[in-house]
Structure 1
Amino acid sequence: MNGTRATAYAQRLGKVFDYIDEHLAEELSVERLSQVANFSKFHFHRQFSQYAGISVARYIQLMRLKRASYRLAFGDTRIIDIALEAGFENPESFSRAFKSAFGQTPSQFRKRPAWKPWHERYQFPNRERTQIMEVNIVDFPQTSVAALEHHGPSEGVNDSAKLFIEWRKTSGHSPVKTSETFGVAYDDPDTTPPEDFRFDICGSITAAIPEGNPQGVVNKLIPGGRCAVVRHFGSHQRIGEVAYFLYRDWLPESGEELRDFPLFFCYRNLMPETPEHELVTDVYLPLK
């Protein structure tokens, strides 16, 4: 298969991934998915499995369990309701499938999520898809933030996020009413030893917060200045695609030089309130 045909083939299967993401709450039949890809329904199972490294039924189940895991970790919805939303007839079958996938029951995951095996479960060959990258140059305003400093393996960022959510709830700094949400990426998780990885989870503030709080949230500043910004749609796990595009493709061609501040993100909406495929994140690259 030449490059052009391979790209076209990948695009057709990419439409299937997108369709599944956007219709997880609905019945997803092989006939419908084969129509989305414009493949014969008699061969679709094998084509999908060969491309994705997993059967289409198992892939759909894992995507539903992924959504369920976020609702467990970051929400307070009853497990029975999460089970029904994920397409299971009862909590028992949901618990068996969840434990088979992640090594923890839903109750165990809710209390103390093991994110490392969770991340490993969602490494699929050919799963990544590219989006059109539209770069704009903006003047980002200096922004005071309350920050929780994560230091350690990148898989633990979700645990730090949960701790930051706890601080927000107790302090009244709601992300909906009064505060934007940011992430400051000091290191690349693909090239940094896990024990050295650093990432700040931040919320904008209008006045300094009291430090010495139980969660360890501190006052920091995101400096103002010129930035290249790209809007990313979808899973936070794929934001790296945008970062690599900015560094490898856009920056060398732009003639711009980098400012002495790391790449950072502004999360325009958040899970579990927002479905993963509807997430919107602005990726900022500071420039001189």
Structure 2
Amino acid sequence: MLPMRTATRTDYRERIVDVVAYLAEHLDRVPDLGTLAEVGGFSPFWFHRVFVAAVGESPATISRRMRLERAAWRLRTTRQPLVEIAFDAGFNDQAAFTRAFRNAYGATPGRFRSEHMPAHELPSISEIHFSPTGTPYRICLPRLEPIDMNIEYVTLEPRRYAYLRHVGPYPEIGSTFGKMADIAGPAGLVNDPEALFVGVYHNDPSATPPEELQSDAGITVSDTMVIPDELQIGTLAGGRYAKGVHKGSYSKMGESWMAFWSTLQTTDAKPRMESPFELYINDMETTPEDELITELYAAIE
């Protein structure tokens, strides 16, 4: 098993609040991820995934929103020139600031000021907002409930898989799996007793727009298996991996990945540049939903 610190939900909340407070206190510049990881006591290798999994937004997104909210508050409460407000909000010119502000608030900065529009808080999953009084920030962390997961080191041999590429939000990969199975079934790929469905996830969802995410809906195949032309062939790289296990509905997979990354960051493991993947151990059509087993893998040095 991996060596790990004892981590509690309260501990994680306090550490993430420390990071958010640091962001709020340094709105005039966006601290680098290494600095934020150090502030929260997180491993720099896993910090970004852990933060986004817990909060629902990246530090850059939060910082940008708070700068715009600060700009809106200053428009309402001060006579500071627009060009200065724009510069303080991180924009090099007033035109770019006007476009971003209008997209966020539905009004230009000048109209927002002249009509005394009341609200400066923008919609947010985390409910993290600019606070002009410096009072504690309201932080909603609904994703923070699962914290610990048993993780072990394993060494895997390289393994071929046949797949269809899915482009779009990861939770929507199910339809691509259906198309892949419609091809793999008649070709006999599912008849191999050692075959497993596999999902390979190539992009960090905390840093990539949902519509641009790329993943593979696949099935593992032997070296001698003949692959239909409609499917592509990939390889799960061999080497060391951190492995976790999710039990239950696939709809709860995100919570398990959050626990996986959160627990992994308490270790000394360093990532390798290989895509994380899931192996689906049993047949979802014949297995009760609460008994489904999915293995989670992340490559490590």
TM value normalised by structure 2: 0.48
CA distance in 1, matches of 2:207, 2:191: 31
Q: Higher relative contact order by CA 8 Å / sep ≥ 6: 1 or 2?
A: 2
| Counterpart pick for 2:284 among 271, 277, 280 | 271
Any stretches of 5+ residues in structure 2 without a counterpart? 1-8, 11-140
- Work out whether 1:171 is the aligned partner of 2:171: no
- 1:221 aligned onto 2:235: yes
AA in 1 matched with 2:277: F
> Are residues 1:242 and 2:227 paired?
no
1:144 aligned partner: 160
- Report percent identity of matched pairs: 25
What letter is aligned with 2:273?
Answer: D
Distance 1:190 1:198 in 2: 13
The match for 1:40 is none
Q: 1-side partners of 2:279 and 2:212: how far apart?
A: 23
Match of 2:75 in 1: none
2:284 counterpart of 1:258: no
Write the distance in 2 (CA, Å) between the matches of 1:241 and 1:194. 18
Partners of 2:187 and 2:228 within 8 A in 1: no
**1:286 corresponds to which letter in structure 2?**
A
What displacement does 1:262 show? 1.4
Quick one: distance in 1 between partners of 2:196 and 2:142?
A: 33
Report the alpha carbon displacement of residue 129 of structure 1 after superposing the two structures with TM.
6.6
Is residue 143–residue 255 contact of structure 2 (8 Å, CA) maintained in 1?
Answer: no
Equivalences for residues 207-218 of structure 1 within 5 A: 207=223, 213=229, 216-218=230-232
Counterpart of 1:281, as a letter, is: T
The structure whose Rg is larger is 2
Aligned length, in residue pairs:
163
Which letter does structure 2 place at the counterpart of 1:238? K
The CA deviation at 1:238 is 1.4
Q: Counterparts of 1:1-288 in structure 2 under 5 Å? A: 130=146, 133-174=149-190, 177-189=193-205, 192-207=208-223, 213=229, 216-247=230-261, 249-288=262-301
Distance 1:175-1:199 versus aligned 2 partners, 3 A rule: farther
1:279 alignment partner AA: L
Question: Aligned partners of 1:165 and 1:195: how far apart in 2?
Answer: 23
